[in-house]
Amino acid sequence: MKNMLKLGVAAAALAVATFAGQADARTPLTIYTALENDQLGPIKQAIEAAVPDVEVVWMRDSTGVITARFLAEADNPQADMVVGLAVSSLMMFDERGLLASYAPMGAEALRDAFRDDRDEPTWVGMDAYVGVICFNTAEGAAAGVETPTSWQDLLAPEFEGRIVMPHPASSGTGYLTVAAWLQMMGEEDGWAFMDALHQNMAAYLHSGSAPCVQAARGERMAGIALDMRGVQERAMGAPLEVVVPSEGVGWEMEAAAIVDGTDHMELAQQVMEWLTTLEANLVYQQTYAIVAHPDAQNFPDGYPEGVEAALIDNDFGWMAANRERILAEWTARYEAKAAPR
Amino acid sequence: MADLAPAASRAILSRRRGFPVPSENAVAGILVALLCVFLLISIALPLYALLSKSFQNASGEFVGLRNFAAYFANPILVDSLFNSLFIASLSTIIVIPLAFTYAYALTRTCMPAKALFYALALLPLFAPSLMSALSLVYIFGNQGFLRWMLMGNSIYGPIGIVIAQVTYTFPHAVLILVTALGLSDGRLYEVANALGTSKTRIFRTVTLPGAQYGLISATFVVFTLVITDFGIPKVIGGQYNVLATDVYRAVVGQQNFEMGAVVGMILLVPAVIAFGVDRIVNRRQVALLSARAVPYQPGPNRRRDIGFVIYCLVVAVLVAAALGVAVWASFIRYWPYNLSLTTANYNFPRFDPNGWGPYFTSLKLAVLASVIGTTVIFTGAYIIEKTKAFPFARGFAHFLAMMPVAVPGLVLGLGYVFFFNAPWNPLNIFYATLTILVVNTITHFFTVSHITALTALKQIDREFEAVSASLKVPFWNTFRRVTVPICLPSILDIAVYLFINAMTTVSAVIFLYGAQTKLASISIVHMDEAGFIAAAAAMATMIVATSVGVKILHILLDRYVLARFQFWRRK
């Protein structure tokens, strides 16, 4: 009996000791991010290889959630850096003085649009993603629906209850798409278009990937989602067409910044330096078609043609300044109508 | 226990050196005080923080009922309230008769393989609630193999939520009803039969009244579980909003803590009512069985027994399928276009930034909650039940220990956010750490473990303490040498109960995890949210495999190892 007890206590103590003893000499940097899940592993590895003193600790959620969380913690910031978040969100943070200024040396080599060209820059661009339509051709053929080629095509009655799109308050892809419609069509026509689209919408999902994944699995016929998820699902064998609507597509840049007041300023600056290198851009390039460094540009197989030509002339300042107003209007229009049923 | 051993050895040492032994009352007093402090911090103060938050605005000023007024002025949120009530009522109405019939078959018939059927019914206890929702997507989703059965209706919405909730709450109802139907006085049936009473009349006048308290209790438990469950509507609710997903969206998505607190308070209402009713019911239940009652022994009845076997088989297969389909789907390469089998979905780094990390964090949490929780709870129960000093403090500790059962996980988690993340609170260094997850998990499941420990302790004659006292043996020696060895089976029950619940819980911890402490169950929510449903099913499978593995280990240990030490129990 006694031996049993002793054995049990010893085993428990050993377990506790093993768990407690996993100390690490590196400095953990808490980095808030909205990068896609499958991108985080390679980027973490590459950062840790380039800056060996750093242990990357991701706090990942969708763009809207990370933005809300960061703003809510403004008085007592939990993050050391923000990496891979929509630049329109970073501009909001900057407006409130939550970001530290830093000019990485490598930024010179990046494309103009991906540089913060003020005297005291706070962010540096990494990559861009585009809001496109993922269309399941197998489901389309079964239902006799042709591949759409424009946003207007999605208003056809055959799509009723068969489209999903990301919720703009949660997802960066959702917000960039809504913002693009409003910029392209003008406020009045933009909202009228969304009113009509709402009639066909099966659900507003809380991720920029999920609509495409659901379309790929045939769970839905079409999903508005970020470009690369469609390319990847197609590569995995889904009967999927990635459509670049003829009117033009919205896009958002993802950028990195240092949080003002971090305890690890020097390490964060080293990470910022690395994030602007060609090497880093080659890592982004594995999962993004459009990246900041011109030499890393390389469209993957299966990437739809004409995306760059279709990109709208996007005003990030407008997106940042109007974010709260647009989301409030969107919520008032569609959440109220979507909730019962 | 671990904290008592040094005290005991110190006592022996000090006696050898001729120092006075610390007084038993002092030690007991310190332990009672520690228990009270722990429970105050882990349950009372977080609840108070939630309460006060619901009466404050964003800058912390008292605004009276304004938050509640804002809530009821918002038609979307009020719809959620009615949706939640509808879902919870419908699930309860379906699950109670199903579970009652099943429990009846287990207790009042002579059907074969009762143990197997009982085990199958309890299977959902070992899985996170949302696992059955994942299965439903594969069964009834737009590409589901039984989609035609929905006749054009969508599984994303009330239909899916109710089916998944029925599966999830079924074992909870069966557990309660088996106990209720097991407590019956066979003499009543003998008399009724002797008087030639018809079968239906016996059922109506003897069986049902005998089980009524169990039925009431099960009804409230199921209703509360459904209305506060977050995982199922998150996965399969579609655009159908319920209170639990509203809380999540308000707190995580919009960081609107005041509105989260209001919904939390609303969710507390049915749980508190259920708790009150349960206390009343328990008090009356005692009077039902007199000391002279004879347990009812069902006699064989071929037709009845075959009927119940068929019924149980159908229900058990459905329950097992609700989990099994997700397990099967986790091995499929690309549903529905490529059905070849693969383990690629278990390559979690592809789907979640933390990869396998959340699984091991969950394991760590489960082990710590189990070891620390069992020690605290059993020692606490011993102090409350067996020591004599400080009756008021012991009563207060018992009162606090009974509180967590009335607090749904989601509400407890919210309270923790408000209490442990408050800027004025020095304990906020623990926010988002494993420590807070361990404390939260122990507290969440404190009451049931506490009652288990008390029941075991009550079976031990108080004579042991009396004899020890007269022999001048301090109570900690009695505890170590007598009480713990006798209660070892119950201690193990508590440890396994805490372990399994720590592995499966979603709602309590969804607000509390941090960058380095994400749990497997939360990882499932995130992977499903990103559309990686097969990977979500794979992680759920890992949780089930682990919990079932631990349970099997528990049964083996109980049967083959502990049985040897418990030999004296047999007559």
Query: B377-392: per-residue pLDDT in tens?
Result: 999 999 999 888 889 9
Q: Does pLDDT of B224 surpass 80? A: yes
User: Which residues are CB-contacts of B169 (< 8 A; sequence separation ≥ 6)?
Assistant: B91, B95, B221, B222, B225, B226
Residues above pLDDT 70, as percent of chain B: 94
Which residue on chain B is closest to A29 by alpha carbon? Answer: B515
Q: Give the pLDDT band (50/70/90) at residue B563.
A: confident
Q: Are A218 and B142 inside 8 Å of each other by CB?
A: yes
Comparing CA positions, the residue from B113, B118, B102 lying closest to residue B181 is B102
Residue B566 or B533, more confident: B533
- May I ask the CATH class of domain A129-251+307-338? alpha beta
Which residue on chain A is closest to B486 by alpha carbon? Answer: A1
Token pair in block for residue B67:
């938050």
Residue type, B33: A
Orientation angle between helical segments B158-182 and B75-108, nearest 10 degrees: 40
Q: Is the peptide bond before B233 cis (omega within 30 degrees of 0)?
A: no
Which pLDDT value is given to residue B287?
Answer: 56
Which pLDDT value is given to residue B340?
Answer: 92
Segment 374-413 of chain B within 8 Å of chain A by CB: none
Q: Which strand (E) or helix (H) includes residue A84? A: strand A81-86
What is the architecture of the domain spanning A25-128+252-296?
Answer: 3-Layer(aba) Sandwich (3.40)
Contacts of A74 in chain B (CB under 8 A): none
* A96: closest CA of chain B, how far (Å): 17
Pairwise CA distance, residues A324 & A328, whole Å:
6
Segment 87-146 of chain B within 8 Å of chain A by CB: 137, 141-143
Segment 245-264 of chain A within 8 Å of chain B by CB: none
Comparing CB atoms, the residue among B238, B253, B516 nearest residue A169 is B253
User: If you count residue pairs, one on A and one on B, with CB atoms under 8 Å apart, how many are there?
Assistant: 129
Q: Give the pLDDT band (50/70/90) at residue B253.
A: confident
Token pair in block for residue A190:
């933009």
Contacts of A161 in chain B (CB under 8 A): 154
| Mutation target among B140, B337, B434 for the A interface, most CBs of A within 10 A | B337
Q: What does DSSP assign to residue B80?
A: H
| A71, A231 Cβ separation under 8 angstroms | no
Q: Is A202 on the interface with B (CB under 8 A)?
A: yes
Q: Does pLDDT of B546 surpass 60? A: yes
Q: What is the mean pLDDT of residues B10-26?
A: 61
Token pair 């239909």 is found at B159
Q: What is the mean pLDDT of residues B65-87?
A: 90
* B230: closest CA of chain A, how far (Å): 15
* A87: closest CA of chain B, how far (Å): 19
Q: Is A237 on the interface with B (CB under 8 A)?
A: yes
Q: Is A17 on the interface with B (CB under 8 A)?
A: no
Pairwise CA distance, residues A47 & A275, whole Å:
8
Pairwise CA distance, residues B532 & A213, whole Å:
8
Q: Are A37 and B353 inside 8 Å of each other by CB?
A: yes
Pairwise CA distance, residues A41 & A46, whole Å:
9
Q: Does pLDDT of B26 surpass 50? A: yes
Comparing CB atoms, the residue among B368, B515, B530 nearest residue A207 is B530
Question: What phi and psi, each to the nearest 5 degrees, are found at residue B138?
Answer: -75, -30
Which residue on chain B is closest to A161 by alpha carbon? Answer: B154
Orientation angle between helical segments B520-529 and B130-140, nearest 10 degrees: 30
Which pLDDT value is given to residue A191?
Answer: 97
Which pLDDT value is given to residue B75?
Answer: 83
Token pair in block for residue A11:
């085993």
Q: Is A198 on the interface with B (CB under 8 A)?
A: no
Contacts of A134 in chain B (CB under 8 A): none
Q: Are B241 and A339 inside 8 Å of each other by CB?
A: yes
Q: Is A207 on the interface with B (CB under 8 A)?
A: yes
Rounded alpha-carbon distances, angstroms, from residue A41 to A57, B58, B355: 11, 37, 8
Q: Give the pLDDT band (50/70/90) at residue B14.
A: very low
Q: Residues spanned by CATH 3.40.190.10 within chain A?
A: 25-128+252-296, 129-251+307-338
Q: What is the mean pLDDT of residues B277-302?
A: 76
Which pLDDT value is given to residue A1?
Answer: 44
Stretch among A49-58, A276-285, B268-277, B560-569 having the lowest mean pLDDT: B560-569
Q: Is A210 on the interface with B (CB under 8 A)?
A: yes
Q: Does pLDDT of B81 surpass 70? A: yes
Which pLDDT value is given to residue B288?
Answer: 58
* A153: closest CA of chain B, how far (Å): 22
- What burial class does residue B341 get, using C-beta atoms within 10 Å of its C-beta: 0-12 exposed, 13-18 middle, 19+ buried? exposed
Comparing CB atoms, the residue among A5, A58, A213 nearest residue B515 is A58
For chain B, how big is the Rg over CA atoms in Å?
25
Comparing CB atoms, the residue among B80, B239, B531 nearest residue A210 is B531
Comparing CB atoms, the residue among A44, A75, A219 nearest residue B142 is A219
- B376 alpha-carbon distance from chain centroid: 18
Q: Is B79 on the interface with A (CB under 8 A)?
A: yes
Contacts of A237 in chain B (CB under 8 A): 334, 337-338
Which pLDDT value is given to residue B2?
Answer: 42
Which pLDDT value is given to residue A6?
Answer: 54
Rounded alpha-carbon distances, angstroms, from residue B109 to B105, B112, B194, B201: 5, 9, 20, 18
Predicted confidence pLDDT, tens digits, chain A (341 residues): 445 545 555 555 555 544 444 445 789 999 999 998 778 888 999 999 999 999 998 888 889 889 988 987 887 788 999 999 999 999 999 999 999 999 999 899 999 989 998 999 999 999 999 999 999 999 999 999 999 999 999 999 999 999 999 999 889 999 999 999 999 999 999 999 999 999 999 989 988 999 999 999 999 999 999 999 999 999 988 999 999 999 999 999 999 999 999 999 999 999 999 999 999 999 999 889 899 999 988 888 889 988 989 999 999 999 999 998 999 899 888 875 443 33
Pairwise CA distance, residues B538 & B548, whole Å:
15
Q: Give the pLDDT band (50/70/90) at residue B178.
A: very high
Q: Is A58 on the interface with B (CB under 8 A)?
A: yes
| A71, A44 Cβ separation under 8 angstroms | no
User: Which residues are CB-contacts of B241 (< 8 A; sequence separation ≥ 6)?
Assistant: A339, B76, B79, B80, B83
Which residue on chain B is closest to A77 by alpha carbon? Answer: B423
| A171, A224 Cβ separation under 8 angstroms | no
* A218: closest CA of chain B, how far (Å): 6
Pairwise CA distance, residues A30 & A44, whole Å:
12
| B164, B96 Cβ separation under 8 angstroms | no
Comparing CA positions, the residue from A197, A209, A202 lying closest to residue A170 is A209
- B400 alpha-carbon distance from chain centroid: 18
Comparing CB atoms, the residue among A75, A205, A239 nearest residue B337 is A239
pLDDT digits (tens, 9 = 90+) for B92-126: 999 999 999 999 999 999 999 999 999 999 999 99
Token pair 């209007």 is found at A329
Q: Are A238 and B364 inside 8 Å of each other by CB?
A: no
Rounded alpha-carbon distances, angstroms, from residue A208 to A133, B185, B234: 12, 61, 17
Q: Is A236 on the interface with B (CB under 8 A)?
A: yes
Which pLDDT value is given to residue A338?
Answer: 47
Q: What is the mean pLDDT of residues B55-75?
A: 87
Which pLDDT value is given to residue A335?
Answer: 79
Which residue on chain A is closest to B515 by alpha carbon? Answer: A59
Comparing CA positions, the residue from B251, B138, B518, B515 lying closest to residue A33 is B515
DSSP per-residue string spanning A94-142: HHTT-EE----GGGGGS-GGGB--SSS--EEEEEEEEEEEEEEHHHHHH
Backbone dihedral region of A133: left (phi > 0), alpha (psi from -120 to 50 degrees) or beta?
Answer: beta
| Mutation target among A71, A217, A233, A259 for the B interface, most CBs of B within 10 A | A217
Comparing CA positions, the residue from B139, B140, B170 lying closest to residue B153 is B140
Q: Is A75 on the interface with B (CB under 8 A)?
A: yes
